[in-house]
């Protein structure tokens, strides 16, 4: 079976993964932390994904986010 994005470079794959993470996480995180922080957060997440992909032969990334309500 051929893996998705197997012919695409790691930087491009990292950008795709970061975009997917952004699509899922932005609505939740923006309500908690505000829209202003989102662009910087997801630019940094793309760099982190790329760093991880260069260190490991990763095929999948699981992201777990835990938020607690401020009192």
- List the pLDDT tens digit at each of the 71 positions of the chain: 345 555 568 788 888 888 888 888 898 888 888 888 888 888 888 888 888 878 877 666 667 777 777 77
In a domain, 37, yes or no: yes
The model's pTM is 0.59
Number of domains in the chain: 1
In a domain, 48, yes or no: yes
In a domain, 65, yes or no: no
Question: From the CA atom positions of the chain, what is the Rg in Å?
Answer: 14
DSSP classification of residue 2: P
Q: Rounded to whole angstroms, how far apart are CA atoms 65 and 48? A: 16
For residue 28, the enclosing domain spans 10-55
Q: Which two tokens stand for residue 26?
A: 């932005």
């Amino acid at each position: 079976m051929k893996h998705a994005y197997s012919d695409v470079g790691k930087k491009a794959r990292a950008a795709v993964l970061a975009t997917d993470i952004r699509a899922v996480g932005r609505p939740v995180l923006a309500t908690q932390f505000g829209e202003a922080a989102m662009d910087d957060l997801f630019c940094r997440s793309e760099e982190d994904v790329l760093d991880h992909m260069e260190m490991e032969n990763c095929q999948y990334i699981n992201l777990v986010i835990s938020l607690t309500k401020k009192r």
